A = this chain, B = another copy of it.
Amino acid sequence: MDPQILTRELHVKNDSKIVMLVADGIGGLPIEPGGPTELEAAKTPNLDRLAKKGVLGSMYPIKPGITPGSGPGHLGLFGYDPIKYDIGRGVLEATGVGFHVGPNDVAIRCNFCALDAQGSISDRRAGRIATEESAPLAIKLRQVKIPGVEIFVEPVKEHRFVVVFRSEGLGGDVADTDPQKTGVPPLDPVAEDPASQKTAQIAAEFVKQAQKLLAGQPKANGLTMRGFSVAPHLPSYEDAYGLKAAAIAVYPMYKGLAQLVGMSLVGQPGSLAEEIDVLEKSWHDYDFFFIHFKYTDSRGEDGNFAEKVKMIEQFDAIVPRVEKLKPDVLIATGDHSTPAAMKSHSWHPVPTLLWAPTCRPDRCQAYSESEALYGGLGHFEAVYLMPLALAHANRLAKYGA
């Protein structure tokens, strides 16, 4: 069930403040039999203190067994059913480089590729071209001009870049042009519904002009397009919850995801400490604060258990500054697990802590995966975290008389 069906009707306004601290990929695994997880190995006196007086739970980002990407992981945390609301690959790629995809935009993930003399693909990733070489080429493609269409080209990394077409009435259902093999030319962009015919025509014209601009390039003289998509129609935080919400994040991807649900981007923090500076400064301007900390995930992806432990300790260390602001509801969680042992996102539940004067304490004595298994929030799906936050802030009316 989509819990916003209820929250949309039931939310009420008050002066409460809700803070959601998200340590990306915080959940982990032991690296030796019987050993602790990263979170269990970390010294987290502040979160442990909150765990004693608050309530814990073991949170499924999506459903049991399903590993989320960053998009669905955050949608779930924000209370948007990640299966109902699909963020297209092109939109996610654009979001990741800080491009705000608007209502008249179609976003496309593009790859530079190498074409032979017959126009067939000889290397689908342009010889893994370095970003220093590919970024100027992407910027060169900004010279493409198509009447009636605003075109944006943004470098991403290595052979990847993103293109956005802006014009009224563009559909997003165009098939990928990447044939997924070499020795054949890129496919023509083919619309998969009538509303996307115009998009396909624009894409074909873009490719034609782009290939002229790239002619003679040794590695990257062609391109393929994938993941054509329009911005998802997500209800805003104001609509869904009656919350004026702020996003405080360092990385563009998370700022972008927050923006898709109508949060305001606040500040330009470059570190977790600076994020808390921004929180302090904007405290009186918003009801809800999403604060994103990236490096727990990064060190998990690196497979570096010891460094992930340190990042968790950094995360713990800022908690007293947040407490000093006297939030009504304080949440610590993650968008998924990233066990160093797996060097990747995983499906394992995320230990989640909620503190509020109205929470019913459980017997948990520390913030950890194993304690969260026995927490008062039980084992629950991420989409219920926002209803729980609102409830603990007295921001949800009774359902029915």
CB distance from A260 to the nearest CB of B (A): 13
CB distance from A119 to the nearest CB of B (A): 29
Q: A33-B53, A363-B370, A373-B374 are in contact. Are A399 and B66 (CB under 8 A)?
A: yes
A180 at the interface (CB under 8 A from B): no
A348 at the interface (CB under 8 A from B): yes
User: Which residue in chain B gives the minimum CB-CB distance to A68?
Assistant: B399
Chain B residues with CB below 8 A from A401, complex form:
69-71, 89, 92-93
User: Which residue in chain B gives the minimum CB-CB distance to A372?
Assistant: B376
Chain B residues with CB below 8 A from A375, complex form:
373
- Most B CB contacts (10 A, CB to CB) among A5, A10, A398 go to A398
Instruction: State how many copies of this chain the complex holds.
Output: 2
CB distance from A369 to the nearest CB of B (A): 6
Bound Cα distance A34, B53 (Å): 8
User: Which residue in chain B gives the minimum CB-CB distance to A376?
Assistant: B373
Q: Which secondary structure characterizes the binding site on chain A? A: loop
A361 at the interface (CB under 8 A from B): yes
Chain B residues with CB below 8 A from A6, complex form:
62-63, 66, 83
A317 at the interface (CB under 8 A from B): no
How does the 8 Å CB contact mask read for A35-53 relative to B, with 1 for contact and 0 for none? 0010000000000000001
Q: A358-B342, A378-B373 are in contact. Are A400 and B72 (CB under 8 A)?
A: yes
Bound Cα distance A65, B373 (Å): 19
Which A positions have Cβ atoms within 8 angstroms of B? 1, 3, 5-6, 10, 29-30, 33-34, 37, 53, 58, 62-73, 82-83, 86-87, 89, 92-93, 341-342, 344-349, 358, 360-363, 369-370, 373-380, 384, 386-392, 396-401
